[in-house]
Each structure stands twice: as C-alpha cells, then as structure tokens.
Amino acid sequence: MSDINEEIVRLYFELEGYMVHSNLKYMIHKKSSGESDIDLAIMKEDPPDKAIVEVKGWHTSTFSLSFFKTENKKDIRSRLFHFIRPEALAAANKYFKSNKYRKILVVPKISENNRDEILRVCKDKGVDLLEFKNILPLIIDKTKINKNYRDSEFQQAVRLMKAYGFVREEKKNARSS
C-alpha cells in the first residue's frame, strides 16, 4: 500500500481489532477500463462486522453536496462511489462469501452547512461516512512513546511527535463518574 491515507485508515481498523485486506482487485467490464480496487476490506469476529472501505484523503477539501453533483468524468469526485458499483460489489461478495457487509466511505471532513443532507444521500446509497477527525484521535491515543512501530511509518511518526511534545497525551481522569 503506497497511499498514506489508506495506511492511516488501515491502522485505525487494525487498532479496533479488524483484520484488513488492502486493494481488493476487480475487473471493470467497460471497454479498456481494466482493473480497479476496493481500498480496504475489513472484518472482525467479536462483535461480527465486515465492510468494504473507500478512502478519500482530500484534506484540502471539505466534503460537501457539490461532491455528488459532478458530471465531469475527469473530475476525481465522479469516482466517489466506484467502490459500490456492481463489479466492486461482486468482488466483495466473493471475498466475504456473502453480500452482508457495510460500505464505508472515509472523507476528510463533512461540511457542517449540509451535514444532514450529505449523510442522507450516503445512507440512500447504503454508505456510511467516517471522517478522518474521528480516526486520528484513536491512533494517537493507542500509540505509546516507549514502543517502536516498525510496521507503520505513520504510527512511528505519531510516536515521535508525542515523545517530543508536539502531540500531547490526553490526561485520563482517575476518578470514575
């Protein structure tokens, strides 16, 4: 996996106890389109959960209704829901040996101006939205400064930022309420 955004999301799900498969390949049946992939296929046993995950690391953008309205095939936003087209779902069905799984789209942040409408459009497509701002705190919290993370350059960078005070650990309240 070469995309840092996919690495971050993969790490998030692994820390949440999921087994993660990257780049689930499938063929596109249109003329000369070739091969594509689902960014991540995730599953865990307890509690049972399976999902396909598409990662859009467009961190300079806020996810708004305009992302749904593009007609220009050259606009990257037109590929927003390619991970739920029939060829992709057939690959996921084969991988999971089932058609019972969630579809998750990971985006930088959702516009507060039309959040409800965006969530409704995604829900109508059978897609759950997950924002990076909800992913990063878990990774930061679970990264320890006294451990070396050889398998994740991102987690190693988080460890170093915590060790040198650029990212502060949250103080946990000792008293339970």
Q: State the 10-residue block means of pLDDT for the chain, 177 residues long.
A: 86 97 84 79 96 92 78 62 92 96 95 92 94 95 94 94 87 46
pLDDT at position 61, please?
83
pLDDT at position 1, please?
45
Half-sphere exposure of 17 (CA within 13 A, CB side): 6
pLDDT at position 56, please?
92
Residue at 2: amino acid letter: S
pLDDT at position 173, please?
47
pLDDT at position 174, please?
43
Report DSSP state, residue 9: H
pLDDT at position 78, please?
60
In the block, tokens 């909800």 appear at 134
- pTM > 0.95: yes or no: no
**Which architecture, in CATH terms, is 4-140?**
3-Layer(aba) Sandwich (3.40)
